[in-house]
Chains A and B, each alone.
Chain A
Amino acid sequence: MQRIGVFVCHCGTNIAATVDVARVVEAAAKEPGVVHAEDYQYMCSEAGQLKIREAIKEKNLTGIVVCSCSPRMHENTFRQAAERAGINPYMVEIANIREHCSWIHKDIEEATEKAVILARAAIAKVTLNAPLQAGTSRVVKRALVIGGGIAGIQTALDIADAGYEVDIVEKTPSIGGRMSQLDKTFPTLDCSACILTPKMVEAAAHDKITIYTYSEVEKVSGFVGDFQVDIRKKARSVDMSKCTGCGVCQEKCPSKKTPNEFNRGLNNRSAIYTPFAQAIPNVPVIDRESCIKFKTGKCGVCAKVCQAGAIDYEQKDEIVTQNYGAIVVATGFDTIKLDKFDEYSYSTSPDVITSLELERIMNAAGPTKGHLERMSDHKAPKSMVFIQCVGSRCADKRGKSYCSKICCMYTAKHAMLIRDKYPDVEVTVFYIDVRTPGKNFDEFYRRAVEEYGVNYIKGQVGKVAEKGDKLLVQGVDLIDNKRILMETDMVVLATAIEPNPDVRKIATMLTASIDTNNFLTESHAKLRPVESPTAGIFLSGVCQGPKDIPETVAQAGAAAVKVVGLLAKDHLVTNPCVAKSDELLCNGCSSCEKVCPYGAISYEEREVNDHGIRETRRVANVNSALCQGCGACTVACPSGAMDLQGFSNRQILAEVDAICK
């Protein structure tokens, strides 16, 4: 018979204000097997843990029930306390009387009754607990970073500098990401390329970093410490080992009608292209959908002009398989599509542009060579209107409920730069609120208003209409409480940002959770902001939530430290709560194998001794290193052969019985 101790936590007033903890102690003490029950204000504190350790020694306890918060919060804490007192950590059970009880109820009577029932269930379960021994698994000393923007580059550099191998997988032909498209960066106005390209070069030259561009993660299996990843290197149609990056192929390519993604479609590019001049690697790719050779079989100009003989039309996609100890997601963002915001005439007027398009127009390497001009007639504008929160902080389903965070600052930057370079251009900004928290951010915005004379109007714009060669902006000034109708030459929309559309696919492969806005969820909003709840998966940059460059770089470094902390370990302790098959009950039906999401179950022919009868049977075998203990197989098994250690069918039913009693 177990000797069980029950410890009820007040959690300050979190539990004690709604649950009468004294009554929970009293009721628990009457349960069969319980030899000790007490309550304390903060069980997780050192003093609380000491109470548990002392009780184990004094009363010779064999099983522990802690009635407290969610096991996600402190199960590990109490397991360690039990282990220090000399009993097996898996003899500890948590009754969650905070999240499942006190926080969601108001009535003390009801909540106390429920807390008692939850305690009883945990006691019933721990009665059937058996000591479990954790195994160990290896740690592959190599990390994968998905995404080659500033977040991915910084994370990779920091991991590599700590001495570990890192691979960057980037979907587009070059690393650099969104930051490479920006002209200047707030609040110091340094040129984006000037601060980014050295980092790109450093990453490419680092002997611990391998960069796979024009590549995508195709398949992920395994678990923390030992993920196996298939990377698809898409056919570049250019031999990277031969290409010298001279650029003649791009000049001579006769197909020049494909919208240039890097310039947000403001001009066209050739079918064989590098996205921008500082691309890394400086090796072009052939876009097979636009290439005349691939479409009609005739052309081949690039192969003829290539002195190095690097063009290879026969090149095929290649799959690289590699093992990694940790994976960092740094997939970044894109701006939302504006097809639901037709009131701004974005789809009809070329003079209505997004802020990212303005970055390209302002950039010396952009479609207008850095001259501010309207895309319709290439004339210099005399006045410009910026509209903030286009799709951000949106109350209806057209846009996003969240604040995109970066727009107030980049709009102030655009307004200031234009007033500085073209003082005759009048600049008006419509805003809901100007949000400038950040070091030197508000000072930056004040400068735009006070020194550069940018006209800020608090209010939203309802319509942008084309009127002759002008745009008519219809808005409202909330402070003066009047309707505004103003003619302007250009309108710039501060478009909401959203996670890269591919993130859903990647999150599914990694079994990493995402929120309703497709941002990857962190393990704890405050205390574990760079870790995914899935072990071994880390988050860097905007894939986790809107961020500016300083924040992204800080988070990228934080993610790198967490990765390094993992890779520095020689082995990991595995979870012993895994499935186990009873070979005598197994009928070899394969039901469990079909439902296992981790590929942890295989079948083998094995000699079994069934009550003296020896025969060879086809039975299930669980690879405990791959099993994550989800329990799908135990439900699927028709003969009851499959059981989960630590969560056996008997234990679960004992809990249910205790609740229903």
Chain B
Amino acid sequence: MVYSYYPGCTLKNKAQDLDRYARMSAEALGFTLEEIEEWQCCGAVYPQASDEIATKLSAVRALNDAKEKDRDLVTLCSACHHVIKRVNDDMKNVEDIRTRANNYLKLNTPYEGETKVFHFLEVLRDRIGFDAVKEKVVNPLTGRKIGAYYGCLLLRPSGVMAFDDPENPTIIEDFIRAIGAEPVVYPYRNECCGGYISLKEKALVGNLVDQVMDSAADKGAGELITACPLCLYNLKNSGTSKKLPVHYITELLAEALGLITESKTPQQATGHQACSSASCGVFDPCGSRQMDMPACPLGSLPAGIKEVGKGA
């Protein structure tokens, strides 16, 4: 099975582990993530303004690309998934947005929300099945107590996202069981980490992150996993309370599937080391404008778009 794959800017940059291990794990589980060509940044925030379509167009382009290839579209980053699923819902159900987006894009056939959007976890749950994942596990993470950190973008608004029960989700816990570890359910797993506010109000995000960390530690979690690069950044870099290690879901999946040869202990947190270093300048959590990366002053340009003044 081949899925169209929309990685998003951050996965090309700060969250390369999330991307790399997802692709490796997918192959091991018998499906392929084929990156769509010339994808553009999703914008990272779903545009709420009802008269605004320009910021929705990149999502529509990605959705239409998958439709033309007759494939389902898979995403990993919570923000990308959120934006793309909601824009898809708009294209299906909001006539005004659909008409104006299609008028602008002038596609061969108008896009009307036909593509099915899956989060990587939804593929595991609904297409592969967690039982089948469990069978492929060669290195079960026995004895590790893992708290799922959902954040808010995957679950809400629950009607459109249709990901899981927003108050009592189970998908990541089921995933944790599939890779042989023990899920730890804690009350703050579906609370917001503060998101982009970390750029402006560090203290506020610190409070929110402390609540999550304390709540997880209180219930006995030894580490946390998340699907969201921004959540991972905030969990690692904000707050004052005792820190639990935080990993991407795909990293532990790859480990359980035996794809990472050297076993990492929970203390050796991985995945996002660059951010915590002092050299990291102004950080845009969406990863698209990494000011301390001289090679790409305008940000990590999406695949397929050549940087001005370079190359030919």
Residues of A at the B interface (CB closer than 8 Å) are 341-343, 345, 347-348, 463-468, 472
Contacts and interface: CB of A to CB of B under 8 A. Distances in A.
B191 interface: yes
A463 B168 contact: no
A466 B218 CA distance: 9
Contacts of A341: 167
B97 to A, nearest CB: 23
Contacts of B214: 467
Contacts of B191: 463
B20 to A, nearest CB: 35
Contacts of B165: 342
Contacts of B168: 342, 347
Contacts of B167: 341-343
Contacts, number: 23
B208 to A, nearest CB: 11
A643 to B, nearest CB: 49
B149 interface: no
B218 A468 contact: yes
Nearest to A471: B187
Nearest to A485: B211
22 contacts: A341-B167, A342-B165, A342-B168, A343-B167, A345-B187, A347-B168, A348-B185, A463-B187, A463-B191, A464-B187, A465-B187, A465-B188, A465-B215, A466-B187, A466-B218, A466-B219, A467-B187, A467-B214, A467-B215, A467-B218, A468-B218, A472-B187
A268 to B, nearest CB: 26
A464 B165 CA distance: 17
A549 to B, nearest CB: 34
Contacts of B218: 466-468
B190 to A, nearest CB: 9
A359 to B, nearest CB: 26
Interface in B219-247: 219
B53 to A, nearest CB: 28
Nearest to B207: A485
Nearest to A465: B187
- Taking residues whose C-beta sits less than 8 angstroms from the other chain, chain B's interface range is 10 to 19
A465 B187 CA distance: 5
Interface in B153-212: 165, 167-168, 185, 187-188, 191
A135 to B, nearest CB: 56
A657 B212 CA distance: 73
A161 B120 CA distance: 71
Nearest to A472: B187
- A-B CB proximity, top 3 nearest: A465-B187, A342-B167, A342-B168
A60 B188 CA distance: 83
B204 to A, nearest CB: 11
Nearest to A462: B191
Nearest to A467: B218
Most buried by A among B185, B187, B191, B218: B187
Contacts of B219: 466
Nearest to B191: A463
Interface in B227-271: none
B183 to A, nearest CB: 14
Interface string B129-171: 0000000000000000000000000000000000001011000
Contacts of A347: 168
A583 to B, nearest CB: 58
A158 to B, nearest CB: 46
A341 B165 CA distance: 10
Contacts of B187: 345, 463-467, 472
Nearest to A347: B168
A346 to B, nearest CB: 11
A342 B165 CA distance: 9
Nearest to B167: A342
A341 B215 CA distance: 20
Contacts of A465: 187-188, 215
A476 to B, nearest CB: 15
A342 B215 CA distance: 17
A323 to B, nearest CB: 50
A26 B218 CA distance: 84
Contacts of A472: 187
Given A465-B187, A465-B188, A467-B187, 19 more contacts: A342-B165, A342-B167, A342-B168, A343-B167, A345-B187, A347-B168, A348-B185, A463-B187, A463-B191, A464-B187, A465-B215, A466-B187, A466-B218, A466-B219, A467-B214, A467-B215, A467-B218, A468-B218, A472-B187
Most buried by B among A348, A467, A468: A467
B175 to A, nearest CB: 19
A552 to B, nearest CB: 34
Contacts of A463: 187, 191
A450 to B, nearest CB: 35
Contacts of A348: 185
A491 to B, nearest CB: 13
Contacts of B188: 465
